[in-house]
Amino acid sequence: MAAEKLRIAYLQQQLALAQRAASALSYSSEGVSQFVTTDEMVPIEQLTDAQQERLEALAARFARLSDILIQKLFRAVDAIELVDEGTILDRLQRMEKRAIIQSAAEWRQIRELRNQVAHDYVVENLSQFYAEILAKSPLLIALLPQLEHYLLKQKVLLGC
């Protein structure tokens, strides 16, 4: 019983961290939406330094929230339900099966975008890269209420 309480406390801590990260990502998404859309964007070379800085903040906040969700919260749900860890893809498929996420494949794309941000991979088309991040950001932000609903339904959390 003590181990279960620790797992639930860890989950609640990560939920709070994710809420703050989601708020920061939402702020950045709104800030760049003035000069970026999910369909097209002004070429990076034509953006001011301040606008480029906003895009970098958006990417960093996207990567941070996706890490918290996939590496911390999804693992915590598995731990509470006493499920073996497996690979990231296994974890995403379990989240899809639980109906917490709609598509493991889409979340795999999110993970790949996160890897491009975190590991400074050379990106061929930066405009398209940032447009993809902007397009996927609402999925990350919208996940928290879905996850909380699942945890309430499973009686893991008693009112968030």
- CA–CA separation, 104 vs 54, rounded Å? 29
127 within some domain: yes
pTM here is: 0.90
Residue 79 sits in a domain whose CATH number is 1.20.120
Q: What is the tens place of the pLDDT at every residue in 44-75?
A: 888 899 999 999 999 999 999 999 999 999 99
120 within some domain: yes
81 within some domain: yes
Q: What is the tens place of the pLDDT at every residue in 69-120?
A: 999 999 999 999 888 888 999 999 999 999 999 999 999 999 999 999 988 7
Measure CA of the first residue to CA of the last residue in the chain; give whole Å: 21
Per-residue tokens: 116: 């491009």
Structural domain for 143, as ranges? 2-153
159 within some domain: no
160 within some domain: no
158 within some domain: no
56 within some domain: yes
Per-residue tokens: 27: 């702020």
- Residue whose structure tokens are 């369909």: 39
Q: What are phi and psi of 98, to 5 degrees?
A: -80, -5
